[in-house]
Amino acid sequence: MDALLISNVGLIIAGLPCVLLVVGGLPGAWMLLGLAAAIELADPLWLGPGITSIGWGVIIAGTLLAAIGEVIEFVSGSLGARTGGGTRKGMVGAFIGGMVGALLATFLIPVPVLGTLVGALLGTFGGAWVGEMSGMEGAGPREALRPALAATLGRVVGTVAKVGVALCVWIALSAGAIHTLLV
CB 101 within 8 A of CB 24: no
For the stretch 13-52, pLDDT in tens is 999 999 988 887 788 999 999 999 999 998 888 777 887 8
DSSP state of 61: H
Task: For residue 140, count CB atoms less than 10 angstroms from its CB and return exposed for 0-12, middle for 13-18, buried for 19 or more.
Answer: exposed
Q: Which band of pLDDT confidence, cut at 50, 70 and 90, is reported for residue 3? A: confident
Q: Which band of pLDDT confidence, cut at 50, 70 and 90, is reported for residue 160? A: very high
- For residue 134, is pLDDT > 80? yes
Q: What angle in degrees, to the nearest 10, is found between the helix axes of 56-83 and 141-182?
A: 170
Task: Indicate the residue type of 139.
Answer: A
Whole-number pLDDT of residue 85: 85
Rounded to a whole number, what is the distance in angstroms from the first to the last CA of the chain? 11
Statement: the pTM of the whole predicted model exceeds 0.85: no
Whole-number pLDDT of residue 102: 84
For the stretch 46-105, pLDDT in tens is 777 887 888 899 999 999 999 999 888 877 776 777 788 888 888 888 888 888 998 898
Torsion, Cα 112 158 153 92, to 10 degrees, reads 90
Whole-number pLDDT of residue 136: 65
Counting the structural domains of the chain, the total is 1
Whole-number pLDDT of residue 73: 81
| Residue in 8, 6, 16 with CA at minimum distance from that of residue 169 | 16
* Dihedral class, residue 48 (left if φ above 0, else alpha if ψ from -120 to 50, else beta): left
Whole-number pLDDT of residue 18: 93
- For residue 6, is pLDDT > 90? no
d(CA 182, CA 86): 53
- How far is C-alpha 47 from the geometric centre of its chain's CA atoms? 32
Whole-number pLDDT of residue 31: 95
Tell me how crowded residue 15 is: count the other CB atoms within 10 A of its CB: 25
Whole-number pLDDT of residue 94: 87
**Which residue stretches of the chain are H helix?**
2-23, 28-46, 56-83, 88-108, 114-133, 141-182
Q: Domain limits at 67? A: 2-182
